[in-house]
Structure 1
Amino acid sequence: MPCYAIEDLIPVVDPSAFVHPSAVLIGDVIVGPRCYVGANAVLRGDFGRIVLEAGSNLQDNCVMHSFPGQDCIIERDGHVGHGATLHGCTVGDNALIGMHSVVMDGATIGANSFVGACSFVKARFDCPPQVLLVGNPAAVVRPLRDDEVLWKRRGTGEYQTLTARSLASHRAVEPLSAVQPERPRFVASGHQPKQS
């Protein structure tokens, strides 16, 4: 992975985390245990600290950054969908940020809350725990049921499993020129493979 120091600050990646080789880490970045960082994610710790706490994931094409003196934090088991931008905010324990959402400076997303895809969370917005937040600007639309929070936990669990799978088997290869006979499929835990 492209990893850069700035002044005396060098990114830190726990050995049990997986950071895709195309992700970029700069400066004051801390990636905790069992985290997953996807392809082309950018974690820019050149002003404020960037933190991924244990078990969290930051998917493909996401950006994390901050103003000077502000941290940008994904707390334990936080789940950030493809293409999201987090700027100087805090994503609470087990919260979910939908694909292509933007969460701005000083905003806090409460534990077990969901931010809907393509939402814009204004600076300093204080989202309570276990609610659904959607729109531009984002607003709370309803409480989340316990089964919805459990669904999210399972999805995050799949990313934690993907972290281990990627550490064990992710490697650069040349593509095949044709589909091999009896090509296998991935099977997510608790799911049956599709029939061809």
Structure 2
Amino acid sequence: MMFEHLGARPRIHDTAVVAPTAVISGDVEIGPGCQVLHGAVITAEGGPITLGEYVIVMENALIRATAANAVHIGDHTLVGTLASVAGATVGEEVFLASGARVFNGALIGARCEVRVNAIVQRRSVLPEGTVVPIGWVATGDPARLLSPDRADDIAAAMPELDFPGHVFGVDRDTPDLMVQLTERYGSSLARHADDRQV
């Protein structure tokens, strides 16, 4: 299904194939030879999304742009089943395995691999050819690769990355953080009330 959102309609190349149960919403451009499989969601929440040539988006993957962070996915990249990309730039010939997560402001260089259930934290930069092992976390610029058993090191990196401030514009130390976050984000998401199926 395709939806016009905030006055923008998806643009899909004639040679791309989008499954009938995929959802494409807003300012999304899907390039030649792309395949978007069943249950995938590609939603431009105020910022554009571009998929280059021969990008494959597997079942139930999520690609979301925000007003602050557009998404670009380079040619010949595969976004695996249940993977998600939020407001990030992904280079050419990248493999995002099943369950991989890439967060806002991240930059993934060409020919990187983010393996099963691995995470690339917000504003982190993976140099070309980097491999993030299964379940590991990449954080920083350039990214440090941390194994899941290094929970203290991962937690220590979180405040510097400032997820609530960077993504939602809410200071982490706000006493009613979740109240502010959900009300602000809810207002933003309510803009879908005027979406039209195309």
TM-score past 0.5 threshold: yes
Contact 1:127 1:140 (C-alpha < 8 Å) held by counterparts: no
For structure 1, the 5+ residue unaligned runs are 142-196
| Structure 1 CA distance for aligned equivalents of residues 5 and 115 of structure 2 | 34
| Structure 2 CA distance for aligned equivalents of residues 49 and 69 of structure 1 | 10
Q: Who is 2:25 aligned against? A: 26
Runs of 4+ more than 3 Å apart: none
Cα deviation, 1:19-52, whole Å, max 9, x if unaligned, reads 0010001111110000010100001113211111
1:5-44 to 2 correspondences below 5 Å: 5-44=4-43
Q: Who is 1:91 aligned against? A: 90
Cα deviation, 1:110-141, whole Å, max 9, x if unaligned, reads 10110011011100111011121133423549
Q: Who is 1:78 aligned against? A: 77
Larger radius of gyration: 1
Q: Who is 2:130 aligned against? A: 131
Q: Secondary structure at the match of 1:65?
A: strand
Name the TM-score, length of structure 1 as normaliser: 0.68
| Structure 1 CA distance for aligned equivalents of residues 136 and 93 of structure 2 | 23
Contact 2:61 2:84 (C-alpha < 8 Å) held by counterparts: yes
Name the TM-score, length of structure 2 as normaliser: 0.67
Q: Which has the higher helix share?
A: 2
Q: Percent identity, please.
A: 28
Q: Who is 1:169 aligned against? A: none
Cα deviation, 1:55-87, whole Å, max 9, x if unaligned, reads 111110001112213211110111111010100
Q: Secondary structure at the match of 1:94?
A: coil
**CA RMSD after TM alignment:** 1.4
| Structure 1 CA distance for aligned equivalents of residues 8 and 22 of structure 2 | 18
| Structure 1 CA distance for aligned equivalents of residues 78 and 145 of structure 2 | 19
Question: Is residue 59 of structure 2 the alignment partner of residue 60 of structure 1?
Answer: yes
| Structure 2 CA distance for aligned equivalents of residues 140 and 60 of structure 1 | 27
Q: Who is 1:188 aligned against? A: none
**What amino acid sits opposite 2:98 in the alignment?**
M
| Structure 2 CA distance for aligned equivalents of residues 92 and 67 of structure 1 | 19
Name the count of aligned residue pairs: 140
